[in-house]
Amino acid sequence: MLISVVICAYNEEKRIGKSIEAIQEQDFPKEDFEIVVVNNASTDQTAELAKSYGVRVVYEKEKGIAHARQKGSEEARGEIIAFTDADTHVPNHWLKTIAQAFQKDEKLVGFGGVFRINSGSFMSRLVINHGEYPLYLLAKIITGKWLLVGNNMAYKKSAFEKTGGYNTNLSQGEDTDISQKLNKVGKVKLINNFYVYQSGRRFEQGLIRGLASYGWNWPLKVFFNIDTAKRLPDFR
């Protein structure tokens, strides 16, 4: 089972190195995975830095996370496509856990976990680190579907191709949208004790401002299928 790990990056030269290193240090056979960095219209040295780690770099000139995830999924060579972010550190058992999940359940088409932020205000860390999974569990209870989180998700490429791909008109919420599509193809599962560590830069100005930028689209999309046109700040 070849796994393609995709990292979408826009001007991430200061952070992407550690993200790549965490993947390269996985407790998983190196011949069984590849790393693909999608350079999404960066104007810094993101692409050059990624290449210095020996990973494959592909280019997406249309700026936006949905465009980048679509490009990464198209370019991925693996049976499984796994996503994390350029400011995210994955544990060394990350790939092994993903591979085992798909090997154990042939009906599974999408799998993932949640994340914890390692910086930001105390209240931001408290709410995000302990409240994210209960929120996704609530959505599962109400809608009957598990949804995936963009920095810690994986899906079968064959299932992705059946979905029709990402809605590239979305400026955010593309992970929720593709999760909803995957649920129509097969089984999607999210687990609580499988998490990655992300920077808290989205909450540097506090919990309320962070949620104002990143949080309101989620319930609108999940419970009412409403997509917001609000654009996110220029980092992910």
Q: Where are the domains of the chain?
A: 3-224
Q: Which of 208, 206, 200, 210 is nearest to 233 (CA)?
A: 210
| Residue that wins the pLDDT comparison between 218 and 139 | 139
Could you give the CA distance from residue 236 to residue 5 in angstroms, rounded to a whole number? 16
pLDDT of res. 232 = 63
Residue 89 has pLDDT above 70, yes or no: yes
Could you tell me the end-to-end alpha-carbon distance of the chain, in angstroms, rounded to an integer? 29
| Residue that wins the pLDDT comparison between 229 and 192 | 192
pTM of the predicted model as reported, rounded to 2 decimal places: 0.92
Per residue in 117-170, pLDDT (tens digit) is 988 888 888 988 999 999 999 999 999 999 999 999 999 999 999 999 999 999
**Does domain 3-224 bear CATH number 3.90.1150.10?**
no
Burial of 167 (0-12, 13-18, 19+ CB in 10 A): middle
State the CB neighbour count (10 A cutoff) for residue 148. 26
Structure tokens at 103: 């090997």
